[in-house]
Chain A
Amino acid sequence: MFTEKDQYHLRNLLAGDEEGIAEIYDLVFPKVVHFITNNKGQYEDAEDIFHKVLVQLTTRINAQEFQLTTSFDGYVFTACKNLWRRELNRKKMWVTNSEVREPVEDERDQAMAILDQERWELYRECFEKLSDNCKEVLNLFFNKLTYKEIVAQTSYSSETVVRQRVFKCKTKLSTSIKKDKRFKRLLEL
């Protein structure tokens, strides 16, 4: 829910109002510090991530016609979590991949991070539109349970029934994603 209070914070951020931005830090930053320092990060990582997310949000609104529909602090916190996970994944990739990667220009990397966030929202929102039943079976499927294991954990009678159910739910989800206007804009097809 986007309230007047959220509108107030967003306006202060877009206007670059230092006092208002300090209020935003007061509102969400401690939560972000807590999350990051509890997930392999330091205080400095939290500072960096938080700053990037605020820049990211202003860019999305100014350059992408993005409209904030959820609460301001909820959005900032979730975007910080996503960006931090992205950083951690990348560090892991650097460690596990022996091939040398071309260093990416900072602004280009931030642009990619914005698109990652947008794509995350697209996939998340489409998933949330599914029935509870579909969500349950797809959760198990995407977390690599075999059809046999899914039968054991649910009330479905056989693997064939599960396979058909997964197929139907996945098709529904895929159709809803492909129909979304963000999908076409994001991917190079």
Chain B
Amino acid sequence: MMDDEKAIEAYLDQTLSDDERELFENRMKEDVELFTEVRVQQEMRAQYSDTPVEHVPEYNEAVVSALTAHLKSREVQELSAKIKAGKQRYGAQNSSKTSWRPYLYYAAAAVTLLLVATVIFFNQESSMQELYVAYNDVSDLPSLTTKGDDQGDLAEGERLFSEEKYAEVISLFDQSAYRQNPQVLEYLGLSYLELDRYDKALATFDELLSSNTLDSNKGYWYKTMTYLKQGNRKKTIENLQIIKEHPTYYKFNSADALLEELEQ
């Protein structure tokens, strides 16, 4: 029995050699029990696998013909038509049940909700924008040049910034040699901020924060300004709270006042 079992498995797995397969198929022709067992096991593989195999069973033709004839009968055709009519009735009931009336209520509710949300959002947004304008002050940006030295890229960058030519500031300073200078990072990050390139601005201010210089903590204030302009209330407050814990940090007093206004 176990030998038969192994042979059936090998036959279904198609791992028998040509000679072995021929021998096995000849045995099946003579042994109805073996033939039936192979058919059942083949079917089991199709039925119980999560990934069914292609397999077209050979049904009893008499049964197939009788069923086909029945399906063609007037009785079935009439019933089929009634099922279609029932489906149409279902469709009609369904569309009247869920017609315009409830949708209108939902739509009205949705419009109201949208209006309220928009008003709140824009009010918040505009108040944050107003705060940004009020608090963003670049007048105390350090000069990049020393007295009498008004030549070179640093002086050029400072001039471009004061002329609000921010894209030119970026193309001038966005290179590794200048990024070592924390003050250049301030000009660069603020130029990104002016052009609303928030991701670049934030990355530049993070670079400033990790620069480990006296000016590095300015990064928190600039990030605050970036989030404020972006309208990100949560992140703005997070950064302000960091400044608030360190009285020596840049714009400590402004941070305190701004935080108070935001939390009103």
Contact = CB atoms under 8 A, between A and B. Distances in A.
A22 B84 CA distance: 9
A174 to B, nearest CB: 5
B58 interface: yes
| Interface size, B (range) | 35 or more
B70 A25 contact: no
Contact of B90 (A21, A174, A186, A187): A21
Given A54-B83, A170-B44, A173-B44, A187 B60 contact: yes
Contacts of B54: 89, 92-93
Contact of A144 (B44, B49, B68, B80): B49
A174 B48 CA distance: 13
A26 B90 contact: yes
Given A55-B80, A142-B44, 8 more contacts: A21-B90, A29-B90, A47-B87, A58-B79, A59-B70, A59-B71, A107-B72, A185-B63
A189 B44 contact: no
Contacts, number: 142
Contacts of A89: 52, 54
Interface string B35-71: 1110111011101111110100111110110111011
Contact of A51 (B44, B52, B76, B84): B84
A143 B50 contact: yes
Q: Is the interface of B mostly helix, strand, loop or mixed?
A: helix
Nearest to A92: B54
B133 interface: no
Given A188-B60, A188-B61, A124 B86 contact: no
Interface string A148-189: 000000000000000000010011011001100000011111
Contact of B63 (A25, A115, A189): A115
Interface in B144-166: none
A120 interface: yes
Contacts of B84: 51
A119 B57 contact: yes
A1 interface: no
B107 interface: no
B44 A174 contact: yes
